[in-house]
Amino acid sequence: MTVRQDVHSAGIPVLCQSCEARHRGVCGALDPEQLVGLAKTSSKQQVKPGMELIGDAETVDCYSNVLSGVVKLTKSLSDGRQQIVGLQFAPDFLGRPFKAESAINAEAATTVSLCSFPKAAIERMMKESPELEHRLFKQTLNELDEARDWMVTLGRKSASEKVASFLLMIAKNIDPAVDAAAESTSFDLPLTRADIADFLGLTIETVSRQLTRLRTDSVIRIDNNRHVTVENMSRLERRSGA
């Protein structure tokens, strides 16, 4: 994508010009002047898979935009059982407003690039600009809708339906254009089998068995453990239980 220097990007920090968070994310709420102010204290960073971004019960002092990659939000029981309670893709906003301590863990599932700002800067800007708070509110409502969708999956679907639902969700996130009509799609799984298990409330073994079942039934193909090709979208959808 070429960065055009036209009326729309006049006065916008270089950092932000081609940034997805400005187009579809929360930064879209800010005018050039505010962007400049924020860009002064913000910093881009690249994070390797497995790195912890926010620790449970840790004081959080920065918020971030996810620019690429996938972040997993997890919660754990005292004995180590873990559950993924959310996945964040670009250009999601990462952080829990109005709370000093995080109740969840955030960890890079893939290589992730982030744009981080000090907590205080965002909170000041939220007071000045109702539009920013409005955008964050809308994202939170979407996350709540997603969380509730997954509660149905966790509570009421069988293992094979869970795995099918997961693949569908990933396919739709990677390529928002795909739907049941599409013949086939293909993508890299952003999660390991262990992560998928933590996301679906299953064990690694069960996830693996269900994936091979989908493979032997030629609903999907799997290459190199990570690359999935959905051969037949509508059959996958029928297996998702929705």
d(CA 194, CA 64): 26
d(CA 210, CA 134): 41
Given the complex with a copy of itself, which of 98 and 176 has the nearer CB atom? 98
Measured from the CB of residue 103, what is the shortest distance to a copy of itself in angstroms? 6
- Considering only 151, 188, 212, 226, the residue that binds a copy of itself (CB under 8 A) is 151
Asked if residue 145 binds DNA (CB under 7 A), the reply is no
Beta carbons within 8 Å of 89's beta carbon, 6+ residues apart = 66, 70, 173
- Considering only 144, 180, 194, 217, the residue that binds a copy of itself (CB under 8 A) is 144
Asked if residue 57 binds a copy of itself (CB under 8 A), the reply is no
Strand-by-strand arrangement of the 82-88 sheet? 52-54, 105-108, 71-76, 82-88
d(CA 128, CA 107): 31
Asked if residue 70 binds DNA (CB under 7 A), the reply is no
Asked if residue 180 binds a copy of itself (CB under 8 A), the reply is no
Which DSSP helix (H) or strand (E) runs through 222? Answer: strand 220-223
Given the complex with DNA, which of 94 and 109 has the nearer CB atom? 109
The distance from CA 81 to its chain's CA centroid, rounded to whole angstroms, is: 22
Residues in touch with DNA (CB under 7 A): 158-160, 192-194, 201-209, 211-212, 222, 224-226
Residues in touch with a copy of itself (CB under 8 A): 73, 75-79, 81-83, 85-86, 96-99, 103-104, 130, 133-134, 136-138, 140-141, 143-145, 147-152, 154-157, 200-201, 241-242
